[in-house]
């Protein structure tokens, strides 16, 4: 059986192809809009471009929103595929089935952030009569479109290289000591997690967009390891279950969606004000409040599991 025949993959790739076709059509039109755009002109060409611009905006708004939703479906599909990939107990086994999986996931996450940025710039552009960010917005989309094409190639490579006869490794069979970045210990990792969280909240409160941008990117990296190699153990209540995906399952009350969702949203709101300032010269510092709020939720949920485990057993894992 080919993995391309599974329902999830058929639906996922079909939607991906439709969205890519829509984006490609938009991209062709974007070139003509950007080349001939002169907002002060009242010529037939300019009016035609303005109409075309509305159409392209609508298509892009739809496709970009769909891509964000499709990311959730992709995560869900990985989980469903664990049923047909031998040895896989959850998404961890499916993602790690070949070396394209993690790269694809990282690219998807970066593109989601990029789409979010595009939606905000688009909103600012449409809110103004003069379309001041039209060229920058379309330039940003062009980069995203290249990313989407690369993502599609990676998806095909990834899906076609998932072995269906050879068992894959999964979190359930990983019983070695955790491999942490730079040889960190768990204690150091947790210390970094809370320190960086505190620093981000401080910078967010002081509305330091550049500092917040830098710290949030660093926090994404630290938080991934901290959740997978420390907090996750308390969620699963098992000292060797180091998996970022199992917590997305029903057995753990889907808590992973809240942990990862609030983390990614917090990071998104934390890095956006700096990027928006660079592109539009407009202040969007109010997003930093949402960043602090979301990251606090992440930290609270993670801490809750540690405290609960300690109160129940009197020991740490």
Partner 1 sequence: MSKIAIQNLNKLYNPNKPNAFYALKNINLSIEESEIVILKGVSGSGKSTLLSLLGGLSKPSSGEILVDAHNIAKLPDIMSSAFRHQKIGFIFQSFNLLEGLSVYQNILAPLALTKLGKEAMHEKVSLAMELANIEHKKDQKVGSLSGGERQRCAIARAVVMEPEIILADEPTANLDKENSLMFIKILKKFKALHKTVVIATHDTLFDELSCINRCVQMRDGELVL
Q: How many whole angstroms separate alpha carbon 241 and alpha carbon 247?
A: 11
Our CB check for partner 1 shows the closer of 47 and 310 to be 47
Instruction: Report the residue number, 47 or 169, with the smaller CB distance to partner 1.
Output: 47
Name the site residues for partner 1 (rule: CB under 8 A). 39, 42-44, 47-48, 50-51, 54, 126, 129, 131
For the CB of residue 59, give the shortest distance to partner 1 in the complex, in Å.
15
What is the closest distance, in whole angstroms, from the C-beta atom of residue 44 to partner 1 in the complex? 5
Q: Between 4 and 39, whose beta carbon lies closer to partner 1?
A: 39
CA separation (Å) from 172 to 88, 223, 298? 8, 22, 25
Q: Which is nearer to partner 1, 24 or 48 (CB)?
A: 48
CB 287 to partner 1: min, Å: 23
CB of 242 to partner 1, least distance (A): 50
CB of 145 to partner 1, least distance (A): 24
Specify the residue, 51 or 179, whose C-beta has the smaller distance to partner 1.
Answer: 51
Q: Which is nearer to partner 1, 46 or 172 (CB)?
A: 46
Task: Specify the residue, 11 or 48, whose C-beta has the smaller distance to partner 1.
Answer: 48
CB of 43 to partner 1, least distance (A): 6
Provide, rounded to whole angstroms, the least separation between the CB of residue 33 and partner 1.
15
């Amino acid at each position: 059986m080919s993995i391309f025949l599974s329902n999830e993959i058929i639906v996922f790739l079909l939607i991906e192809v439709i969205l890519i076709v829509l984006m490609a059509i938009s991209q062709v039109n974007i070139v003509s809009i950007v080349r001939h755009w002169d907002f002060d002109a009242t010529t037939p060409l300019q009016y035609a471009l303005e109409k075309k611009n509305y159409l392209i905006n609508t298509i892009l708004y739809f496709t970009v929103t769909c891509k964000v939703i499709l990311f959730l479906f992709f995560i869900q599909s990985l989980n469903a595929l664990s049923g047909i990939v031998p040895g896989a107990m959850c998404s961890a086994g499916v993602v790690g089935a070949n070396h394209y999986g993690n790269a694809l996931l990282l690219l998807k996450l970066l593109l989601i952030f990029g789409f979010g940025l595009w939606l905000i710039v688009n909103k600012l552009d449409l809110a103004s009569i003069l379309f001041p960010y039209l060229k920058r917005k379309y330039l940003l989309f062009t980069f995203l479109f290249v990313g989407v094409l690369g993502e599609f190639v990676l998806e095909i490579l990834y899906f076609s290289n998932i072995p269906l006869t050879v068992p894959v490794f999964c979190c359930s069979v990983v019983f070695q000591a955790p491999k942490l970045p730079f040889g960190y210990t768990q204690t150091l990792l947790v210390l970094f997690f809370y320190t960086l969280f505190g620093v981000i909240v401080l910078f967010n409160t002081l509305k330091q967009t550049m500092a917040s941008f830098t710290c949030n990117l660093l926090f994404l990296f630290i938080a991934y390891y901290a959740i997978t190699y420390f907090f996750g153990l308390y969620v699963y209540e098992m000292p060797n279950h180091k998996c970022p995906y199992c917590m997305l399952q029903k057995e753990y009350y889907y808590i992973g969606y809240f942990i990862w969702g609030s983390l990614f949203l917090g990071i998104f709101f934390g890095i956006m004000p700096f990027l928006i300032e660079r592109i539009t010269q407009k202040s969007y510092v109010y997003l930093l409040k949402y960043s602090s709020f979301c990251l606090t939720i992440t930290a609270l949920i993670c801490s809750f599991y540690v405290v609960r485990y300690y109160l129940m057993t009197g020991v740490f894992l």
